[in-house]
Amino acid sequence: MTILFGWDLNLTLEEGSHLIIWEFMNRQAKRDGYNQVTIDQVLDLYGHPLDEFYRNLFGVEDPLLTTLREEGEQISSTLYPLMKLTPHAQQVLEWIAEAGHDSVIASHTTHTEVEKMVDHLEIGHLLTAFNGVPGNPKNFDSKSSILRHQMAKAEYDRVIMIGDSTQDIEAGIEVGATTYLFQPPCKYSFPYEQGKADHLIADLRDIVRNEIPVGNL
């Protein structure tokens, strides 16, 4: 039995990208006269495309929005030391790969940034594919379209989607996946409810415990 594991990237497999956004948006805010951004504002918007951060926090639209977002993405590459893998993410991806299953990243981060982040985190060898929706050469329009693309390439007995937002859960539901809503460490103070998700977890190892038990977990 082969399983496809769909993963959100930001705040699911990695932690720290919220600090990167917080840092570069506040640099822009200080320079251009916008209100300073709080970390809770960044976390509250997490799971949405970066454009939504600029619309909601700076109140801007195109073409200025695109200019600021592209600049922010350029600055972000200098802030990667703030980003690291979520606790147990490496182990979980290794266990999934060793068991013969596939892992795919489906992200609302731009495709170029996803590639850079995967390279920085050194997890590319554990992934079957990794894709961002914006700027993707395959013209994906949603996380669910990324999952469907992979599902069409191989036969899977089951599909599982893991992410930290309702958008991730909805993407999983659209393709008939079992869904895991993950509450990352930086959001422990936020009220999380299971909602439509099949599971609510705060430890990525619970996925392995439930789906492909290995070792002494």
211 CB-near residues (< 8 Å, 6+ apart): 3, 160, 178
For the chain, 217 residues long, the average pLDDT of each consecutive 10-residue run is 95 94 97 96 86 96 96 91 96 96 94 93 97 90 96 96 95 98 91 94 96 67
For the chain, the distance separating the N- and C-terminal CA atoms, rounded to the nearest angstrom, is: 21
Q: How far is CA 2 from CA 47, 70, 96, 100, 113, in A?
A: 28, 39, 10, 7, 29
What local confidence, expressed as pLDDT, does residue 111 receive? 92
Interatomic CA distance for residues 128 and 186, integer angstroms: 28
What local confidence, expressed as pLDDT, does residue 217 receive? 52
What local confidence, expressed as pLDDT, does residue 110 receive? 86
Q: How far is CA 216 from CA 205, 208, 209, 211, 213, in A?
A: 11, 11, 9, 14, 9
CB contact at 8 A, 42 and 58: no
What local confidence, expressed as pLDDT, does residue 1 receive? 84
Handedness of CA 194, 196, 198, 202 (dihedral sign): negative
**Closest of 96, 160, 103 to residue 131, by C-alpha:** 103
